[in-house]
Amino acid sequence: MTRRALFLLPALLCLAGCQRETQVEKANREGILIFGNSNEPKGLDPQVVTGVLESNILRALFEGLVSDHPSDDAAIVPGGAQTLEPDATATVWTARLRPNAKWSDGTPVTARDYAFSYERILTPEFGAKYAEMLYFLKGADRFNKGETKDFSTVGVEVIDDLTLRLTLRGPTPYFPQVLKHYTWNPVPRHVVLKHGTMTQKGNPWSKLGKIVSNGPYQLKSWRRNDHLEVERNPHYWGAADVTLNGVRFLPITNSYTEARMFRDGQLHTTYTAPPEIVDLMLKENPKVLRQEPYVGTLFIRCNTTRKPLDDARVRRALSLSFNQQEICDKILRGYKPAYGMTPPMAGYDTPHAVTFNPEEARRLMTEAGFPADAKGKRPDFPRLKYLLASRETAATTAQAIQAMWRKELGIEVEIENKEWTAYLAAMQELDYDLAGSGWIGDFLDPLTFLEMWSDGNGNNLTGWSNPKFEELLKQSHQEADPAKRYAILREAETIMTAEAPVLLTAWYARNYLLDPSVEGWYPLLLDNHPFDSIRLRTK
């Protein structure tokens, strides 16, 4: 062996023996959280996008009047507003903005930015899909529906650069919870107008290289279907307290790929964990598996405009005759049986509406005019179609319910799987019998689970309405006392669940994987983790 080769030997040995640092280890050193975010964001304009995955990125980039707390969803943390004061009836709210709040280009954030943003999202020409989130403001619905062109009729008032007054449609003691939603985030007026007009569709202000934000982070890089990374916003008022240097969001659509990447040390946290991965991790590495409650309800919509589902007794019978507990234990993993529409949250006592009771279900069926024959079958009951969008656990759940109905009620339903948009279209045209669906709450208040069932709401899609229910909802908008308001909402929910326009199936849980190096990450009902207080432990 020549001398040169001898010299190379240690290097070669090191190359063979050294274990390469994983991406998570490298990111821990750099203080960057790698976050599985399920898909490519549809955009970064808080007044245009509508999805959960977009909201994860917006939470890093933007800050509204109030912020999220790292361990308590119900807590109100001052954000862009130093103080937020209600009047005696909780109808008029005055926000005093931080004098040192700045956009990431150094321009101060003013009350005008907020007012501009609210006018923008509510202007009908802009066509914002989530404009309804701002209907809490007095006159917002009329302005958004084009009944008036005068924005001064909407309850948004700029007192001075640092004072904003919001007048609501009625007493709203839980308003700070609503304000946490990203639709209430400000957008930089000066940047939006620099790249186009206020209501211009496709205004490029929120693209890479142009976007300016007011949250703890600013956009650093974005490669479509590959990654999106945010870095510290040096102008953020609380920059000194921000612990995490950045977040890298990966749009991993395939949950098995995501789990493999996690196991390979390429991710700190996954967006989800399918049941097979839950089983595998329970065996392999249970400490990384997280199973936490999430404010969402899984249900089956009934088309109440069709026979025999127009009869509340039939819907009740269907609802009482499948065993939610068994479905949660065997299929949905970590989900809880849903005895009401609103999952447990914010001190609200959900009325108990559904328990598995096949006896009562059979009685109701017979009463509704569908008696059982000698073999327990109900020959008069039509064969219903159960619509689904092809997702694996949803399909398994549907098959389980189908079998339980056959066993308990002696009826047959047919499962019809459609592709996502076709499924949505069928639901919106009321061209279905039963449809497997779900809803994730927008904010921590029962209203986000109840208002959707009001007449004409874009999420109702069942054809169901009830004047007493509408009346109670309206009443709740005018009630300032939180305890009385909850009592009114309970009454409304009792009416709704008794008539069962939807068959409650389960309350959501979130199954996902989290690397042990992540600290300061707590279970949250809305899953809105503020990134700025997370720490990454290096070995």
Partner 1 sequence: MARIIINRLVQGLLTLFVLVTITFFLVRMMPGSPYTDEKALPAHILEQLKAYVGLDKPLPVQYLTYLKNLVFEQDLGVLLKKDGVTVSEIISQSFPVSALLGVLSIGIALMVGIPAGIIAAVKKNGPLDYACLAAAMTGICLPSFVIGPLLAVFAGLGLKSLNVAGWNTAADWIMPALTLGMVNAAYLARLTRGGMLDVLNQDYIRTAKAKGVPGWRIVTRHALRGGLIPAVAYVGPAFAGMISGSFVIETIFQVPGMGQHFVNATTDREYFLIQGLVLFYGFLIVGANLLSDLAQIALNPRLRAAA
d(CA 381, CA 372): 10
- Give the list of residues 6+ apart from residue 355 with CB closer than 8 angstroms, or none: 320, 339
Q: Give the type of residue at 86.
A: P
CB of 347: closest distance to partner 1 in angstroms? 27
Taking the complex as a whole, the smallest distance from the CB of residue 41 to partner 1 amounts, in Å, to: 8
The residue among 301 and 485 lying less far from partner 1, judged by its C-beta, is 301
d(CA 351, CA 511): 26
Nearer to partner 1, 223 or 352 (CB): 223
Report whether the peptide linkage leading into residue 234 is cis, meaning its omega lies within 30 degrees of zero: no
Is residue 41 exposed (0-12), middle (13-18) or buried (19+ Cβ within 10 Å)?
buried
C-alpha span between 3 and 462 (Å, rounded):
83
Please give the DSSP secondary-structure letter assigned to residue 168.
B
Please say which residue, 267 or 434, places its beta carbon nearer to partner 1: 267
Instruction: Kindly state the smallest distance separating residue 51's Cβ from partner 1, in Å.
Output: 9
Determine which helix (DSSP H) or strand (DSSP E) holds 83, and give its type and residue range.
strand 81-86
- CB of 524: closest distance to partner 1 in angstroms? 22
Kindly state the smallest distance separating residue 458's Cβ from partner 1, in Å.
Answer: 4
Taking the least distance from each CB to partner 1, the nearer of 147 and 471 is 147
If 0-12 CB within 10 Å is exposed, 13-18 middle and 19+ buried, where does residue 480 land? middle
Alpha carbons within 13 A on the beta-carbon side of 113: 28
Residue closer to partner 1, measured from CB, 84 or 388: 388
For residues 22 and 94, which CB has a smaller minimum distance to partner 1 in the complex?
Answer: 22
CA–centroid distance for 520 within its chain: 21
Name the minimum Å distance from CB 253 to partner 1.
6
Cα separation of 300 and 224, whole Å? 35
Nearer of residues 46 and 216 to partner 1, judged by Cβ? 46
Q: Shortest Cβ distance from residue 384 to partner 1 (Å)?
A: 20
Q: In the complex, which residues of this chain contact partner 1 (CB under 8 A)?
A: 19-20, 23, 42-43, 45, 48, 50, 124-129, 131-132, 145-146, 201-204, 206-207, 223-226, 250, 252-254, 256-257, 260-261, 263-264, 266, 419-422, 424-426, 428, 458-459, 461
Asked if 234 contacts 221 with a C-beta cutoff of 8 angstroms, the reply is: no
* Phi, psi angles (nearest 5°) of residue 351: -65, 140
Cβ atoms < 10 Å from Cβ of 520: 16
* Residue placing its CB nearer to partner 1 in the complex, 230 or 411: 230
**Residues 517, 376: contact at Cβ < 8 Å?**
no
The minimum distance between CB 147 and partner 1, in angstroms, equals 10
Q: What are the helix (H) ranges across 413-481?
A: 420-428, 447-450, 467-477
